[in-house]
């Protein structure tokens, strides 16, 4: 069971010559899902996005498993987003991209918290850790 499901619109430019969403665009869709889930305008979990932020949240690793082609469509696809791990200065976000209830992509990203001034890792705060772990698949 996902912690949160967010609708993600597809763009015509996401498609390749075969008419389906390109693998590079898939990683962009994961980013969009992550931002919508973790940086909610009303109650963000993570520090502000932007070069002027004291702490940056950087992608350290991406793993993507393609299960089914995603053809272009006007209706948004669903992105299920959960957090499976929080350790020190990093955490893992898991995703499933679905079209009409069918899993098309399973993926994960490891994100690292980094001090913008020094470039060194900075630990998650207890509040961030608690809120991220509330997005664990079995948290509900």
Lowest mean pLDDT among 29-33, 39-43, 109-113, 119-123: 39-43
pLDDT higher than 90, residue 9:
yes
User: For residue 124, which of 114, 134, 135, 110 has the smallest C-alpha distance?
Assistant: 114
For the segment 26-78, what is each residue's pLDDT rounded down to a tens digit?
A: 999 999 999 999 988 788 888 888 888 899 999 999 999 999 999 999 999 99
What is the residue-averaged pLDDT of the chain?
92
Q: In this structure, how many other beta carbons lie within 10 angstroms of the beta carbon of residue 104?
A: 20
Q: In this structure, how many other beta carbons lie within 10 angstroms of the beta carbon of residue 69?
A: 11
Q: What is the DSSP letter of 43?
A: S
pLDDT at 42: 82
Q: Which two tokens stand for residue 42?
A: 């009303």
Q: In this structure, how many other beta carbons lie within 10 angstroms of the beta carbon of residue 84?
A: 16
Alpha-carbon distance of 1 to 29, in angstroms, equals 20
């Amino acid at each position: 069971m996902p912690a949160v499901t967010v609708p993600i619109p597809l763009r015509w430019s996401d498609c390749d010559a075969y008419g389906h969403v390109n693998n590079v665009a898939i990683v962009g869709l994961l980013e969009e899902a992550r931002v919508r889930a973790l940086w909610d305008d009303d109650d963000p979990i993570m520090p502000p996005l932007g070069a002027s932020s004291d702490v940056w949240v950087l992608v350290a690793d991406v793993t993507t498993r393609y299960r089914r082609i995603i053809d272009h469509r006007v209706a948004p696809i669903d992105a299920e987003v959960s957090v499976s791990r929080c350790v020190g200065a990093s955490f893992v976000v898991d995703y499933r991209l679905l079209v009409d209830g069918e899993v098309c992509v399973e993926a994960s990203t490891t994100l690292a918290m980094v001090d913008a001034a020094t470039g060194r890792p900075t630990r998650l705060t207890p509040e961030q850790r608690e809120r991220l772990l509330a997005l664990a698949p079995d948290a509900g």
